[in-house]
Amino acid sequence: LDVLGPLGREFPVEPAVTDAIFVAGGIGVAPFLLLARTFREQRGKATRLRLLYGARSAANLVLLDEFKKLGVEIELATDDGTRGTKGTVMPLLDWTLPRGAASTPGAQLFACGPNVMLKAVASFAAERGVPCLASLESMMACGFGTCLACVFPVHDASDADFHYERDMATLARVLWEAKSIFLLGAGRSGLVTRAFGTRLVQLGKVCHVVGESTTPAIGRGDLLLVCSRTGETKTVVVLAQTAAASGARVAVVTAQPSSALADLGHPLVHLPVSPDLSARQPLGSLFEQSLLLFLDAIAAGIAEKRPRALIQMRQRHANLE
């Protein structure tokens, strides 16, 4: 048995937070025990800790004794009224930070639970002017955030990670519109890129692998798809520059958005790779694994939008094997 984790971003413990209010719904209580322990270890009694915890019934309430040992103030709500207030946690939150009262200095909300609860808490926080951080419960199909199963849209996204879904859609579009697609990558990244070429051919696209003896000249209307973790492999950069000079469009997927190759990418897709997780695997393994999932997701997305695509892909599957 092997377990990979923890995944995602942890809640930060900031010295400025003197009143940490945990809002939990159902199994969303799980991360708050560790967060409470971290606050006590780093801040001692300097931060007031409060837990507003909702569940379906009293039988579903867990970890209460552990929170009490840490000196966490607990308010409960159950849907059936078997313990605490009957209903959701939102009335508890309203009582904790009442309307019209001055915002508690140093107060911050930490929320984890069903999406409908998170949306309500986020709206409440925005209305009352209280900082709020939410931990989403979405299932992660790939474990790295590459396949986008866990992605949520945001209203104001200045972080490059939040443009990821948009860039993915753009890449899928330019791949489909290209007259011919040329695939370029070195080493293991190149192998993954070639595997994606198989799917593109099955989708009905004309594909060529750079370096093969049957690869024709690239030109206007064509697309060069380049995949490189570092974005600095010299031969790959030179070939991408040649394609751009020939009038072809260059699309780049890389882990380094500030690199020589990234400057040529239109579109440029930044495939973020966690340094912590990368340290557990040799060299560029994590990027290559993420790249495979990402490109397969692109192919699946293209197929999903086209009637009979799966049937046609089966018909185009190689039969000389």
Cβ proximity of 74 and 29 under 8 Å? no
Pairwise CA distance, residues 229 & 259, whole Å: 10
From the candidates 14, 232, 288, 321, which is the catalytic residue? 288
Task: Write the DSSP string, 216-241.
Answer: ----TT-EEEEEESSS--HHHHHHHH
* Inter-residue contact 293 to 147 (CB < 8 Å): yes
Strand order in the sheet with 48-55: 85-86, 73-78, 48-55, 19-25, 107-112, 132-135
Report the greatest alpha carbon distance in the chain: 75
Residues 6+ apart with CB under 8 A from 82: 57, 58, 59
214: tokens are 């049957």
3-class DSSP assignment, residue 134: strand
Distance in angstroms (rounded) separating the CA atoms of residues 149 and 136: 12
Q: Quick count: other Cβ atoms within 10 Å of Cβ 266?
A: 12
75 is catalytic: no
Active-site residue list: 288
